[in-house]
Amino acid sequence: MGGVEPAAPSGDRVIVVVAFDQVQLLDVSGPLEVFTTANRYGARYDVRVISPTGLDVLTSSGLRIGADTDLEQLPRHVNTLLVPGRSDWRQAIADDVLVSLVGGLAARALRVASVCAGAFVLAQTGVLDGRRATTHWELASQLAAAFPQVRVEPDPVFVRDGHIVTSAGVTAGIDLALALVEEDYGADLARETARQLVVFMARPGGQSQFSIRMTPQPPQHRLVRRAMDEITADPSLPHGIGALTARLGISTRHLARLFRQEIGMTPGQYADAVRVEAAQTLLSSGLASVEEVAQQAGFGSSETMRRVFQQALGLSPTVYRARFRTTTAPAPAPVALSLPSSC
């Protein structure tokens, strides 16, 4: 068709969300709510939903959503392409029309993002070749097997490699969208958006999809279970390997070997992970100073806690508290230390 392409209003950032049959509803609606809510606080997002056929699509939950634009209505360049996923990713990547649409849009986008199994569609187009990427932890091993040229990281909430960002399952799309809002308009606007949606400010991308207390493979050995129970019961107590082995009546070498075999980390690494979780909850509550949090969580000093936080999250406890204080009574924040791959 001829004619002039419609342009976005001056200053607006065009966000194109691809919808298709059996797409996960929250993969679409979660980021959409973030971007449109951000507009209430000064953002300038022009959010468009497009489908391969140009028609409405039936989501995985049975709810029908409409496509409000088509290729002819898009400007030549878009700011962000967002690709959600569906649980049966094989059906998605077998849809040549869908893959062609995504591949063409990816070439026009300044930034490309996926939620959950949307990473499979991006991988099918080839845009993830040689790049780091993530998806829902349960699908990570399948992504790695189906696309060996993609460097899959199963643990993080989201992974950025250049202009491409891939995120974990369902609600991680909200974290991803908030991170994009912060990138575009700053932390204050993103924080206001998060407060309005009654969610935590975007979790750092490197944060684990898992809680340290919910390891995907529970330990079988009773001594490992006992040591883990002691650490999680009160992380402020001395939990060095010497103290643990004295209480358990075994050698340090034996306990270290059992921990590595059972959960893939040392007792010290596990204790640090538990302490990070405890500190996250305390920092989010805002009821204690950073030094008090360090003592209560078992770090001993704020400097030690800062060092561990920096290594685990890439940000300091003070910055973490500023980012996550979005409600007066926040729920416990998820763990921020990566666990070994289990997919």
Q: pLDDT by residue (tens digit) across 18-77? A: 999 999 999 999 999 999 999 999 999 999 999 999 999 999 999 999 998 888 889 988
List, for residues 84-113, the tens digit of each pLDDT value: 999 999 999 999 999 999 999 999 999 999
Catalytic residue among 19, 43, 67, 116: 116
**Residues 6+ positions from 328 with CB-CB distance below 8 Å:** none
The pLDDT value given to residue 199 = 77
Chain segment 43-60, per-residue pLDDT in tens: 999 999 999 999 999 999
131 vs 149: CA distance, rounded Å: 8
CA quadruple 21, 24, 26, 31: dihedral positive or negative? Answer: negative
- What pLDDT digit, counting tens, does each position of 273-291 carry? 889 888 887 887 677 889 9
Question: What are the structural domain ranges in the chain?
Answer: 13-197, 212-324
343 catalytic? Reply is no
DSSP state of 148: T
CATH 3.40.50.970: does it fit domain 13-197? no
Taking domain 212-324, whether its CATH number is 1.10.10.60 is answered by: yes
Cβ-contact 337, 276 below 8 angstroms = yes
Residue 200 confidence (pLDDT): 63
The pTM (predicted TM-score) of the whole model is 0.68
Q: In this structure, what token pair is assigned to residue 58? A: 């039936």
Exposure of 42 in the CB half-sphere (CA atoms within 13 A): 10
The C-alpha atoms of residue 136 and residue 176 are separated, in whole angstroms, by 13
Residue 101 DSSP SS3? helix
